[in-house]
Each structure stands twice: as structure tokens, then as C-alpha cells.
Amino acid sequence: VKKTKPIPVALYGGRHAVTMLPGGGIGPELMVYVKEIFKYAGAPVDFEVVEIDPKSDESNDLEYAITSIKRNGVAIKGNIETKSESTGVQSRNVAIRNELDLFVNVLHCHSYPGVPARQKGIDIIIIRQNTEGEYAMLEHESVEGVVESMKIVTKSNSERVARFAFEYAKRNNRKKVTTIHKANIMKLSDGLFLETSQKVAKDYPEIEHNDMIIDNCCMQLVSRPHQFDVMIMTNLYGTIVSNVVCGLVGGAGLLSGKNYGDHYAIFEPGTRNTGTAIAGKNIANPIAMISASIDMLDHLGHKQHSQVISDAVRKVICEDKLHTPDLGGSASSTEIVQRIIDYILQTDTRAW
Ligand code: ADP
Ligand code: MG
């Protein structure tokens, strides 16, 4: 059994350097909140901020961002906008994940008690292939009016994702892994993904493994979501299923997502939204990005700091039920952040 290698991270005089990519839309305001919270929690992290021009592919921004992440090992990220009408510009989000070989995305979809939601008591881990599949960006017009788009599935990446999922299940005491696919139609590509996960499953007899067709999976998710534990899937199914489950527990503003490769890690809001329409209005839900920053602190080994911040978040969301408009509340983003900071300041950190 292959062990996941430890990911090296930059550490200078006890402080970690982390790349911060604010991105567009609500990204920059959310990063301000993260920095404020880290300041009051005394989190030993220095951010190296890299802005990426959303309109231009010409500059070296992307290169700077990638170099910075390679140096620091870890990044926190907002969504970088790629306008769908600008066909010449490829997605910088995809480029960063590919360049750093962040082959897996992990989304822990869990309900927050106190948040009004369509389903209660959800606790699902979505593990998504993050660099190939339908996101290969290999599209061309072969003859006028006929466009071909290639979906790439490799045995090696399918195996890495499956291995990651079963190791994750084992480490976190999870009981079942479900492979999501459409192998009845895409017999070769999804067939390979499914077959590979079935082979890997044989190494983990203590963990139940089953599979489900993506369309049935969507129906099951909205009607009987509690049957799912850990799920693995290819890239496009992953983004769709992630959004379905986030919708079940309270929307785009709550959950964080983690991107891992063998060497680097990027933390970001789970549904990767830009939120252009709500930017600058002090209404964006800050919790998804704050949760991403908590994940990042955990990853760096700063468990006490991550615990203090996540306790404060839980009190604000679940006990005080202070919510932004996306959750049906009337609190502003800054009211939520201020309340979180108030709780952090009440924590006795003298024993640390
Ligand atoms: P846009 O097209 O403006 O970029 P997205 O597609 O990024 O919007 O986001 C999808 C939906 O989720 C939008 O309605 C957006 O307002 C909402 N949303 C995304 N992130 C948040 C957040 N942090 N707080 C509240 N609503 C959010
Ligand atoms: Mg969008």
C-alpha cells in the first residue's frame, strides 16, 4: 500500500508562508476577513498575495502564482474569473490545478445545526478527480458546425484518486466508498475509472464499496442522501454533485474544499464561485472562505489556532444563529466576522 507523502511547507522562524490568491468577485473582501481573523487568533502565518488580472492572459501573473505556491507549498484561493465568451483565454483555475498536479479535490459536505436547509444531518465526503476528465480542455471544431471535446481518463490518475479515497476512509473511520460513473454509456472512459476503483477496493476489505450511475446518484442525493459516506467520481460529475450537496446543506457560502497533490495543497470555498453580483455589498457569506483558512491551519499543523477559529464559527452560526442573507438571515458579512473575532478574543490562550 502506497502511503501519501508528507507535503513540504515553507517555515521561517516558526511562521508559515502561504500564497494568497484573492481572485475576483467576493474573493478580495473574503481574504480581508481571513487576515483579520488570523491577526486576532495570533495564527503564525504570513500571506504572500498574488493578484491575477482577470481580463488578460498576457501578463506573468499566473507564473508568479505558481512559482509562489511551489515555494510555499500551500495556498488559499478565491475564484479567478474566466469569462465564457472569451474563448481564447483558458481557465487559470484549471491551469493552476494542472500545473501543480493537484489531482484530487476533497469536499466535506456536512450540515450545520441551526442553518435552515433542505436536508439535516448530512455528512458526505466527495472525492473528485481534479485534473483530467471533461476538464482536459481539448476541444476543437473538426469541420464547420461540428465540435469535438475530449474527456481524458487515465488509469494512473483513477488509481491515485481511488487510493486517496480508501486511505481517507480508513484514516477517518468511514465505512463505505461509492464510485459514481456513467460506465453504461461511456464504457471505455468511465469503465476504466470504475474498474480501477473496484481493483483498489480489494485492498480495503474492511471498507464497503459500491457504485452508482451519476443520474441515479443525483436523484438519490436529493431524496435519500444519508446513504452516502465517501463518494469518488471524475471531474465534471464532481463539480455537479458538489453543488447539489452544498445546495442541500445551505448553499455556496458555507463549505470549504481542499485540493491536494503529492507536493502542494490549495484551500478554497467548496463550490468555487466568483460571486460577481454580490461583491462589494457586505452580504457575501464569509464562512466558506474562513473554513478554507481553518483547513489550511490544520494542514500546517496549527491545530490550536484552527480549533479556536472553528469553535468561534460554530458559536456564531449554530448557537447565535447569526446568518447572512443567503441563509435567510439579515447579518452583514462584517457583523459575522466581528462576532467571530469577539469569540476568539474571549478564548484563554495563555496556556498555549
Ligand atoms: P457569479 O456568476 O456572480 O460569479 P457564481 O456563479 O459565482 O456567481 O455563484 C453562484 C451563486 O452562489 C450566486 O447566486 C452567488 O451569489 C452565490 N454565492 C456564491 N458564493 C457566495 C457566498 N460566499 N455568499 C453568498 N452567496 C454566494
Ligand atoms: Mg460562476
Do the beta carbons of residue 265 and residue 136 sit within 8 Å? no
Is the shortest distance between the CB of 250 and ligand 1 below 6 Å? no
Task: Supply the pLDDT for residue 118.
Answer: 86
Task: Supply the pLDDT for residue 25.
Answer: 96
Which ligand approaches the C-alpha of residue 256 most closely?
1
Is the shortest distance between the CB of 247 and ligand 1 below 6 Å? no
Question: Any idea which residue has 478527480 for its cell?
Answer: 129
Nearest CA to 314 out of 59, 110, 76 is that of 110
* Interval between CA 126 and ligand 1 midpoint (Å): 20
pTM, rounded to two decimals: 0.94
Ligand 1: which of 242, 278, 293 to mutate, judged by most atoms within 8 Å of the beta carbon?
A: 278
* Interval between CA 271 and ligand 1 midpoint (Å): 9
Question: Any idea which residue has 473528485 for its cell?
Answer: 128
Task: Supply the pLDDT for residue 177.
Answer: 98
Is the shortest distance between the CB of 278 and ligand 1 below 6 Å? yes
Radius of gyration of the chain (CA): 20
What residues are paired with 250 via a beta bridge? none
* Interval between CA 274 and ligand 2 midpoint (Å): 6
Q: Please provide the size of the chain in residues.
A: 352
Q: Say how far apart CA 140 and CA 331 lie, in whole Å.
A: 47
Is the shortest distance between the CB of 274 and ligand 1 below 6 Å? yes
Determine if residue 94 is left, alpha or beta; phi over 0 gives left, psi from -120 to 50 gives alpha, anything else beta.
alpha
Question: Any idea which residue has 447572512 for its cell?
Answer: 324
Alpha helices by DSSP H, 202-347: 214-223, 235-249, 287-300, 303-314, 333-346
Do the beta carbons of residue 61 and residue 53 sit within 8 Å? yes
Q: Say how far apart CA 169 and CA 174 lie, in whole Å.
A: 5
Divide the 352 residues of the chain into consecutive groups of 10 and give the mean pLDDT of each group: 60 90 97 97 96 79 95 97 72 94 98 92 97 91 95 97 98 98 97 98 98 98 97 97 95 96 97 96 98 98 96 97 97 98 86 62
Is the shortest distance between the CB of 275 and ligand 1 below 6 Å? yes
Amino acid at position 138, single letter: L
Is the shortest distance between the CB of 276 and ligand 1 below 6 Å? yes
* Interval between CA 278 and ligand 1 midpoint (Å): 7
Burial (CB < 10 A; 0-12, 13-18, 19+), residue 347, is middle
